Structure 1
Amino acid sequence: MERRGFVSAAGTLGALLFGSETASATREQRGTQPQDARPSPPAKTVLHLSSGETAAYKGALMNAQNLLADETVPVTELVFLSNGPGVKLYTPPGRENDFADRINSLQERGVSFRVCQNSMAMLDLTEDQLIDGVEPVPSAVGEFARLQEVGYGYIKVP
């Protein structure tokens, strides 16, 4: 009985050792990645800001900077879209908003800034009151739908 137990244990151990090698080799032959590998993110991304809080502006813009700085993420197009009270981010520098320089810096790096015209109307803002280079769109939800249809990934930022 003792010998049978040893042989059985040795066989099980061998199957585990050789089985994992075989699975690994098969995975490499097929060109697949292990289950714990991180997937490649979409190359086009839209960041959504709807909060009117100054801390949210800061955090949202930092998310855009961090995304562009992350060399493991192949972002080819980045859109920053604001609606609701978040559209105030795009107003000229003043007591409540000192983010124009950060926005201009991100624009120079290719980030497209867009604003919901419905939200602008709700807050009585006109295009003349926006920072240069911010593009109004008819509705944020329509723009999100359109961007997702053409392959953009969606990230809600603070």
Structure 2
Amino acid sequence: MNVVFHHTEDDPDLHARVTGNIENLLDDETIATDEVALVSNGGGIALLTEDSPQREAIEVLQKRDVTFKQCSNTLTGIDTTEDDLLDGVELVSSGVGEVARLEAASYVYVTP
């Protein structure tokens, strides 16, 4: 099963919840996951920046082959650049477009 998590909120409690949800999914022995991705847009960008309180959790999840994708549209008009993102975060042209593409490719949609 392929799963996409969609994260749009700038709320530290939700940042911890989404990383915890991903970890719980990966640890659930009753679910076979092939690919797991998180797509962030809007306020969700705070989860994927160098100063994210969830930085360590993100790095652990990356080692577990979770991919993290950030909407490049979000970078327009805010004081954040690609250089501010954690290593390994992939920029996509549109967060909602990426979610739609992944859903069309049979990813299960999850939002915290």
Fold conserved between structures, TM > 0.5: yes
* Distance in 2 (alpha carbons) for counterparts of 1:122 and 1:140: 16
Residue number in structure 2 paired with 1:99: 54
Contact 2:12 2:53 in 1 (8 A): no
* Distance in 2 (alpha carbons) for counterparts of 1:123 and 1:69: 36
Instruction: Give CA deviations for 1:98-130 in whole Å, capped at 9, x if unaligned.
Output: 211110100000000000111121423211110
Matched residue count: 112
Residue number in structure 2 paired with 1:86: 44
Instruction: Tell me whether 1:135 sits opposite 2:93 in the alignment.
Output: no
In the alignment, structure 2 segments of 5+ residues that lack a partner are none
**Considering only CA atoms, is the larger Rg found in Structure 1 or Structure 2?**
1
Q: Among residues 33, 52, 59, which one is paired with 1:75 in the alignment?
A: 33
Residue number in structure 2 paired with 1:124: 79
Q: TM-score, normalised by structure 2?
A: 0.95
* Distance in 1 (alpha carbons) for counterparts of 2:111 and 2:12: 16
- Which amino acid counterpart does residue 77 of structure 1 have in structure 2? E
Residue number in structure 2 paired with 1:53: 11
Q: Among residues 83, 86, 99, which one is paired with 1:144 in the alignment?
A: 99
Identity %: 38
- Which amino acid counterpart does residue 107 of structure 2 have in structure 1? Y
Instruction: Give CA deviations for 1:67-104 in whole Å, capped at 9, x if unaligned.
Output: 000011111100011111011111112xxx32111101
SS of 2:75's partner is helix
Which 4+ runs in 1 deviate beyond 2 A? none
In the alignment, structure 1 segments of 5+ residues that lack a partner are 1-42
SS of 1:73's partner is coil
* Distance in 1 (alpha carbons) for counterparts of 2:54 and 2:20: 11
Task: State the Cα RMSD in Å.
Answer: 0.9
Higher strand proportion: 2
* Distance in 2 (alpha carbons) for counterparts of 1:123 and 1:73: 38
Q: Which has the higher contact order (CA 8 A, sep 6+)?
A: 2
